[in-house]
């Protein structure tokens, strides 16, 4: 009991909580990207994948609540640690020299965190609830029937003939809007900066980084963050530039043809 309480009452405990919840969220955003990249596959793939997730029912809501708790704890720990750090350093801590010595990622950590939170709320509203007046969501509401069995890493997700939501068209039409795509790209860029500094720091907090592995871990983090940003950039970038055309016969194709 004392150990659990110390996690929330001591600086070391709060740093540990921030690192662990950060690690969970890194895993989530990575999985989320892998799921979204299925937009480049036939529509059945991402529609079947989304249908499988929706079919988890209470388990899916349990995962959502767990992730929400991780976000809340992560933000709370970050705010408390920041206030403690400011109080301990005093006014002289804001000197120009110290600001210049800080990395770009660490200097903008708090700002990027706020923007990332706003982006998460907007992104969930846009692709889960729907933004009022945004026809890209409404037009994708009609269901479609899977033409093929859908598997993920050999695991069956949905069978041919299953009626599912047209998530493919919803994503495609959402990113066909330049404003939505621009906001997405900027937010993902800030999220990448946040991940860069945060992931590097959590290795230190969890004791996984030492003199022998420090440089190697930093390179791994850098490569991961660059690939993460490019992977997210590829989706709106390909749709906006026309490199990725909507599959024939989908709601997205019909909508875009009507707009032209």
CA dihedral 36, 38, 39, 41 (to 10 degrees): 180
Query: Is pLDDT larger for residue 118 or for residue 129?
Result: 118
28-37 contacts, C-beta under 8 A, 24 or more apart: 28/67, 29/191, 29/195, 29/228, 30/228, 33/228, 33/231, 33/232, 36/171, 36/232, 36/235, 37/231, 37/234, 37/235
**Mean pLDDT of the 76-101 span:** 63
Average pLDDT, the chain: 78
What is the DSSP-derived secondary structure letter of residue 41?
Answer: S
Question: Is residue 96's pLDDT more than 70?
Answer: no
What pLDDT, on the 0 to 100 scale, is given for residue 37? 94
Per-residue confidence band for 48, with pLDDT thresholds at 50, 70 and 90: very high
Listed range (27-31, 87-91, 172-176) with the worst mean pLDDT: 87-91
Q: Which of 24, 42, 2 is nearest to 206 (CA)?
A: 24
Q: Which DSSP string do the residues of 133-171 spell out, in sequence order? A: T-HHHHTT-SEEE-SS-EEETTEEEE-TT-EEE-HHHHH
Question: Is residue 91's pLDDT more than 80?
Answer: no
Listed range (6-15, 32-41, 55-64, 167-176) with the worst mean pLDDT: 6-15
Listed range (35-44, 81-90, 224-233, 234-243) with the worst mean pLDDT: 81-90
User: Which helix (H) or strand (E) covers residue 216, if one does?
Assistant: helix 214-241
**Could you give the CA distance from residue 137 to residue 126 in angstroms, rounded to a whole number?**
7
Listed range (19-28, 177-186, 203-212) with the worst mean pLDDT: 203-212
What pLDDT, on the 0 to 100 scale, is given for residue 119? 63
Query: Is pLDDT larger for residue 180 or for residue 141?
Result: 180
**Could you give the CA distance from residue 139 to residue 170 in angstroms, rounded to a whole number?**
7
What pLDDT, on the 0 to 100 scale, is given for residue 46? 93
**Mean pLDDT of the 20-37 span:** 89
Query: Is pLDDT larger for residue 184 or for residue 41?
Result: 41
Tell me the β-bridge partners of 151. Answer: 156
- Domain ranges across the chain: 21-89+121-259
Task: Check if the beta carbon of residue 166 is closer than 8 Å to that of residue 140.
Answer: yes
The proportion of the chain whose per-residue pLDDT surpasses 70, expressed as a percent, equals 74
Beta strands in the chain (DSSP E): 143-145, 150-152, 155-158, 163-165
Torsional sign, CA 90, 96, 101, 107: positive
């Amino acid at each position: 009991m004392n150990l659990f309480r110390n996690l929330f009452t001591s600086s070391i405990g709060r740093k540990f909580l921030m690192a662990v919840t950060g690690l969970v969220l890194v895993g989530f955003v990575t999985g989320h990207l892998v799921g979204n990249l299925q937009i480049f596959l036939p529509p059945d793939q991402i529609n079947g994948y989304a249908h499988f997730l929706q079919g988890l029912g209470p388990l899916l809501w349990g995962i959502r609540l767990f992730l929400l708790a991780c976000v809340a704890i992560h933000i709370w720990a970050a705010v408390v640690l920041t206030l403690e750090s400011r109080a301990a350093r005093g006014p002289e801590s804001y000197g120009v020299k110290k600001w210049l010595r800080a990395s770009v990622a660490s200097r903008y950590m708090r700002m990027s965190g706020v923007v990332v939170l706003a982006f998460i709320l907007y992104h969930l509203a846009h692709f889960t609830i729907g933004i009022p007046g945004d026809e890209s969501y409404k037009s994708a509401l009609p269901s479609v029937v899977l033409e093929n069995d859908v598997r993920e890493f050999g695991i069956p997700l949905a069978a041919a003939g299953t009626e599912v939501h047209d998530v493919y068209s919803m994503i495609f039409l959402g990113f066909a809007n330049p404003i939505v795509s621009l906001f997405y790209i900027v937010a993902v860029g800030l999220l990448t900066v946040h991940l860069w500094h945060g992931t590097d720091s959590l290795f230190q907090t969890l004791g996984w980084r030492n003199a022998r592995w420090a440089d190697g871990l930093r390179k791994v983090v850098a490569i991961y963050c660059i690939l993460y940003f490019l992977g997210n950039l590829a989706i709106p970038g390909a749709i906006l530039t026309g490199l990725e055309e909507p599959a024939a016969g989908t709601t997205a194709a019909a909508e875009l043809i009507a707009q032209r």
